[in-house]
Amino acid sequence: MAVKRRKVLLIYCGGVNLWPKPTPKFLQQLVRDFFQLQMVADVDTFFLWPGQGADINFTVWKKLVKTIASQVKKYDGFIVTHSLDHVLFTAAMISFLLQNLGKPIIFTGQIGRKIYQAMPLKSMLFETNLLNATVLATSNFCETVLFYGPRIIRATRGQWDYSSELDPFSSWQMNKLGNTQFSLSLSKEVRRKTTGKKIFFDFCHNIKILHPYPNFTLPYDLEKYEGVAVKGFLEKPLPENFPKLKIPVLVHSLTELPYKNNIITVSNCTWETAVTKFMWALAQTRDIKKLRKIMQTNYVGELK
Amino acid sequence: MKVYLIDPINSRLLFLLKKMGVECLTKKEDFASSPHQILFSFFEQFDALIVEATQPTQEIMYLLAQAILQGKPTLCYYQKNREPRQLLGFLRRPEAKNIITKAYTRNTIENIVLSFINILSGTRRFKEKPTIRFTLRLTSAIERYLNWKIQGKDITKADFLREMVEKEINKDEKYQAELKKG
């Protein structure tokens, strides 16, 4: 009995320095020539954006969501190439905007030069990574994941791993979802089935992000934003001189902190996930109690 | 030499290969786990891949795709008159020159595998190293002949004698049949 051919959409969103000046035609030709991809799946391409991760913006995010949402019935899985820069934000936001899609979405790309030079093994080249990502996109699971090295990591649990020379990310407060040590293997924590598909196209991008430091001067015009996200206190939600704002204020901390008024504290997810979830939540409601509840509810396996 | 053998149908092959001195890995548990797990490459652990691919599964397609990328010597065989056409279309491309494809029957499968192993052994990389000491007394006539035979060639008398014996081994049909009996 012949194995049913799976269909995968490869969405180019930057992230491959090996490909000089990529164009839609170049991408199609490359996939045609890289026939090993076609051995494991029928791979189509979509050229979304040619830029670098440092330049990624909300328009690209919206286009990415629309592209995947419009093609979800046609394809069994999706691969998104993305630079390492800001991929934690992009992948987390996609997780919230495309909930319970029932199909895998794999973020991958070429990892940086310094890391690349530390890998003498031919098996770790980008082509191998793309082949592995294609096989992963045909596998039976329903998650948005990061796949830049041997580890497969839930997008909303990704964190930078500066100790590893071979994989830029590790999994925050949970095991990795799988690896490619001996071919592809997925762990028990992987979500295989989902119900209640929800697709969102909106998120609030008018928020101010603050990274305080000693003697930090607060911006005076915070009220012009629709929300503020503050990174990293341990003992107190906010410094004494922080103004009382009418807009919601998200404080990300490593410990449980008390909250009051319109301050929402989170300590049970990564910073990138907290910010993107906040942006998504602000598009659903501006009521502080409801916002607080959303931030404490587990939607895509993002919370510890 | 180590091979990764994926053939649930022809179980005798495992015994045949072991008799030839070939180490066989047949399941994931056979592979070593390095303390630096993410450093260790699965494909680095064997010299060649042997796959039965009459009805290729997704895993087999993936392994063959990786084998092409890695340039790993691979033997891919399928039952005669049951060609996996789509797979063969990929494997017969110029980029897949490291892959040998063969149709087989119950009577020919062992020769196909033996031939593949011999091809691998014939390359410098996989040639078996002589390790067994054997003292042979020669007549002066034989010694003169050997000295004359290797003149101008970059081999030793011992190499020449080993090559002669290996040719005899390959020609000896009774011995080859004995190997197949298991």
Q: Which residues pair with A158 in a beta bridge?
A: A171
Nearest-CB residue to B65 (from A3, A40, A138)? A40
Which pLDDT value is given to residue A90? Answer: 96
pTM: 0.80
Nearest chain A residue (CA) to B71: A122
pLDDT of residue A151: 86
In which residue ranges of chain A is pLDDT below 50?
A: 1, 113-124
Longest dimension (CA), chain B: 63
Distance CA A276, CA A93 (A): 5
Q: Looking at chain A, which residue has its C-alpha nearest residue B95? A: A35
Q: Give the mean model confidence (pLDDT) for residues B134-140.
A: 91
Distance separating alpha carbons of residues A35 and A6, to the nearest angstrom: 15
Nearest CA distance, A297 vs chain B (angstrom): 34
Given the DSSP bridges, would you call strands A198-199 and A98-99 parallel, antiparallel or unpaired?
Answer: antiparallel
Per-residue pLDDT tens digits for B20-75: 888 888 876 666 555 444 434 677 788 899 999 999 988 899 999 989 988 899 99
- Compare CB distances from A131 to B40, B58, B65 and report the shortest one's residue: B65
B29 close contact with A: CB closer than 8 A = no
Reported as a single tens digit per residue, the pLDDT across A180-205 is 755 677 888 888 877 888 999 999 99
Token digits for B130?
A: 């002589």
What DSSP character marks residue B71? Answer: T
Instruction: Give the separation between CA A246 and CA B161, rounded to whole angstroms.
Output: 94
Q: Do B90 and A121 touch (CB under 8 A)?
A: no
Instruction: Give me the residue from A39, A123, A125 closest to B64, CB to CB.
Output: A39
CA A234, A240, A243, A245 torsion-angle sign: positive
How far apart are the C-alpha atoms of B107 and A84, rounded to whole Å? 54
Are the C-beta atoms of A230 and A249 separated by less than 8 Å? yes
Instruction: Out of B62, B70, B95, name the one closest to residue A183 (CB).
Output: B62
Dmax (CA) for chain A in angstroms is 70
- Residue A81, amino acid: T
**For A98-111, what is each residue's pLDDT tens digit?**
999 999 999 998 76
Radius of gyration (C-alpha) of chain B in whole angstroms: 20
Q: What is the pLDDT of residues B68-125, one digit of tens each?
A: 988 899 999 999 999 999 999 999 999 898 999 999 998 889 888 988 988 887 643 3
Q: Is B32 on the interface with A (CB under 8 A)?
A: no
Q: Residues with Cβ < 8 Å from B29, sequence gap 6 or more? A: none
Beta pairing partners, A55:
none
Q: Pick A17 or B157 by higher pLDDT.
A: B157
**pLDDT value for B84:** 93
Q: What is the pLDDT of residue A274?
A: 96
Q: Is the confidence at residue B129, as pLDDT, over 70? A: no
How distant is the Cα of B34 from the closest Cα of chain A, in angstroms? 10
Is the Cβ–Cβ distance between A281 and A245 less than 8 Å? no
Tell me phi and psi for residue B31, to 5 degrees: -85, 145
Nearest residue to A16 via CA among A141, A162, A129, A175:
A129
